[in-house]
Structure 1
Amino acid sequence: MDAYTLGDGKGTDIVVWTYGATLVEVRVPDRDGHSDNVAHRLPTLADYADRDTNAYVGATVGRFCRNVAHGTITLDGVRHTLDRNAGPHHLHGGTHGFDRLVWREAGTERTEDHVTLTLALDSPDGDQGYPGDLHVETVYRLDRETTLTVAFRATTTAPTVVGLTNHTFWNLAGAGAGTGRTADRHHLAVNATRALRFDGDQVPLPGPPSPVTGTPLHLTGADPLGELRVDNFYVLDDPRSWAADLHDPASGRHLRLSTDQSGMGVYTGDALHPPRAGVCLQPSAWPDAPNRPDFPSARLDPGETYTATTRYVFSVR
């Protein structure tokens, strides 16, 4: 495994591992100019390799993130059985998904405006049950405007499904907040008035997304998260403008996320070790999209290129 550090020369640095194409650290200044890591990280590589301690922390998740009901997909009349790693269902790419693999460096770039790292992976036909040889790239770019861009690209040799995301848990208080810190004092706004409804296995229920206005799941940023438990998928209203705002009043750090994805998972990390050590914001394809013709398609065909881009803009208030 290799580790890469990218810096903007103004106090913001990120650390990326080739294991899982994982975003391990994001060090940004607070209102007093003190830089600290705002991405929840695990103590050692062994902890990242241990599924009992690693809830996909910081990883690139795929071939298809989130849930595929009953671990099956049908493409052009052919039924494919995927690895079932969440009871009867398929979750986050399977037992040996992209988060469990060592990616290779496919290029670095440094200009006056940004530094970029590209990591690549080749997933063979039948990997975790998915059809088609898939070539995947994860791109991390940090620019001088304190913006981190995470982009994904993929091509296939046969019809398949793809939905990639980054699974970082954000805690803007920073590592210096001490052991057992949580993001409970953070203010979170999500640019969405609808969310999917799930059953007990996190499989979307039949029917359209439900309004969240007037419910605890309507996240406006007006109040701290407190003890609110969230593990939902939001239908974003204007994600290219902004999808989420996260703010820590104590440090002054602020994160604005924008994306070209139409939905985003939000998880308050209640099953993390330690619990609620960060908030996960996952722009991605919709859960169980391969089996839901009423959801945006996650299909990728030969000759096409899958792309997904998310930008994280850091500032202080």
Structure 2
Amino acid sequence: MDAYTLDSGNGLAITVWTFGATLVEVNVPDRHGRTDNVVVRLPDLRSYEDPALNAYVGATVGRYCRCVTGGRIELDGTVHVLDRNDDGHHLHGGSLGFDKHVWRAEPQAFADRLVLRLRLHSPDGDQGYPGALDAEVRYEVDADSRLTIEFRATTTASTVVGLTNHAFWNLGGAGRTVDDHELTLNSTRYVGFDERLMPLVGPPRPVAGTPLDHTTPRRLRDSRIDNFFVLDDPEWAAEVVHRPSGRAMRVLTDQSGVGVYSGDHFRRPRAGLCLETGAWPDAPNRPDFPSVRLDPGQTYRHRTIHQFQTIGDVHV
């Protein structure tokens, strides 16, 4: 396994491991210029390798992020049974998903940005998925304090794809909870879940009048979230503010939804906040949800930007 650090030279620096194409550190200055890591980091590689300790922390998740009910998909009349790693269901790509592999890395330096490209080949039948898939994730930092994560994939046969990053964000730094963070979501609808966190039948539900309403800034100490939110428009997805440090993060994406998890069942409860942009839960089995099908000759693309600022630089 190798580790790469991309340092913008302007305060933002990230560290990525080839194991799981994992985002291990995102170092950002506070309002006084003091830098701290704002994503949860485990103590060592062994901890990342141990499923009992690692809840996909910082990892690239695939082939399909989130759940597939019953671990079953149907494409063109053929049923494919996926690895059932979640009590009879399929979750985050299976027992040996993309988070468990060492990716091939290629660093690149440009005049205005630094890029780390990581690639992984997933053979036909991997975790039950049809088609051989070539996946790529690009981490990019620039001088404007932006971290861009971009996913791409191509396939040799019709399949389903949904990649995401599973970082636990904490703008206050290590050792704290996210209770004193403020979260705003550009979403007035959410996908209803049953007790197993599988989508319920029917269209997305309004957040108005529910504890999931974050259309205006709300402290996370009042929220317990493990839901999927439908974005109202592509302009932005989420804003997170930590007033004690002055750090703020704005999330922009070309995806139509974001999974939000406040980490209540993490081994250090509420140590970080997940903002997983990308495919909708159980979309392979839900024709009423945006399609996640990928055919030969097509390229899957997914781009998300994390813009870091300090309070006072921008209205939040």
> Given the two structures, how large is their TM-score scaled by the length of structure 2?
0.97
Name the SS of the counterpart of 2:114 in structure 1.
Answer: strand
1:273 Cα offset (Å): 2.0
Deviations 1:180-231 (A, max 9, x none): x100000000000000001111110000000001221011353311142100
Name the SS of the counterpart of 1:226 in structure 2.
Answer: helix
Gaps of 5+ in 1: none
Counterpart in the other structure of 1:207 = 202
State the AA in 2 paired with 1:133: A
1:10 Cα offset (Å): 1.5
- Partner Cα separation in structure 1 for residue 152 and residue 162 of structure 2: 10
Is 1:238 equivalent to 2:233 in the alignment? Answer: yes
1:88 Cα offset (Å): 0.9
Is 1:97 equivalent to 2:97 in the alignment? Answer: yes
- The question of whether the paired residues in 2 share the 8 Å contact of 1:221 and 1:245 is answered with no
State the AA in 2 paired with 1:65: C
- Partner Cα separation in structure 1 for residue 289 and residue 38 of structure 2: 33
Taking the TM superposition and a 5 Å limit, the aligned residue runs for 1:35-184 are 35-105=35-105, 107-175=106-174, 179=175, 181-184=176-179
State the AA in 1 paired with 2:211: P
Cα distance 1:221–1:35, how it changes in 2: closer, same or farther (>3 A)? farther
- The question of whether the paired residues in 1 share the 8 Å contact of 2:180 and 2:220 is answered with yes
For 1:248, which of 234, 239, 242 is the aligned residue? Answer: 242
Gaps of 5+ in 2: 312-316
Deviations 1:91-114 (A, max 9, x none): 000000000110011x32212210
Cα distance 1:227–1:42, how it changes in 2: closer, same or farther (>3 A)? farther
Is 1:192 equivalent to 2:187 in the alignment? Answer: yes
State the AA in 1 paired with 2:213: H
- Partner Cα separation in structure 1 for residue 215 and residue 200 of structure 2: 25
Name the SS of the counterpart of 2:221 in structure 1.
Answer: coil
- The question of whether the paired residues in 2 share the 8 Å contact of 1:248 and 1:254 is answered with yes
Q: CA RMSD in A?
A: 0.8
- Partner Cα separation in structure 2 for residue 43 and residue 288 of structure 1: 33
> Given the two structures, how large is their TM-score scaled by the length of structure 1?
0.97
Counterpart in the other structure of 2:265 = 271
Counterpart in the other structure of 2:296 = 302
- Partner Cα separation in structure 1 for residue 95 and residue 217 of structure 2: 39
Deviations 1:277-300 (A, max 9, x none): 000000010000000000000000
Deviations 1:28-56 (A, max 9, x none): 00000011000111111111111111110
- Partner Cα separation in structure 2 for residue 112 and residue 221 of structure 1: 38
- Partner Cα separation in structure 2 for residue 122 and residue 108 of structure 1: 18
Q: Percent identity?
A: 60
Name the SS of the counterpart of 1:250 in structure 2.
Answer: coil
- The question of whether the paired residues in 2 share the 8 Å contact of 1:65 and 1:165 is answered with yes
Name the SS of the counterpart of 1:247 in structure 2.
Answer: strand
- Partner Cα separation in structure 1 for residue 61 and residue 114 of structure 2: 23
- Partner Cα separation in structure 1 for residue 267 and residue 44 of structure 2: 13
- The question of whether the paired residues in 2 share the 8 Å contact of 1:263 and 1:283 is answered with yes
Count residues with an aligned counterpart. 311
- Partner Cα separation in structure 1 for residue 216 and residue 50 of structure 2: 34
- The question of whether the paired residues in 2 share the 8 Å contact of 1:47 and 1:54 is answered with yes
Name the SS of the counterpart of 1:47 in structure 2.
Answer: helix
Deviations 1:230-261 (A, max 9, x none): 0000000113x110000000000000000000
Name the SS of the counterpart of 1:192 in structure 2.
Answer: coil
Counterpart in the other structure of 1:316 = 310
- Partner Cα separation in structure 1 for residue 197 and residue 265 of structure 2: 15
- Partner Cα separation in structure 1 for residue 44 and residue 214 of structure 2: 34
Moved over 4 A (4+): none
State the AA in 2 paired with 1:206: V
Name the SS of the counterpart of 1:95 in structure 2.
Answer: coil
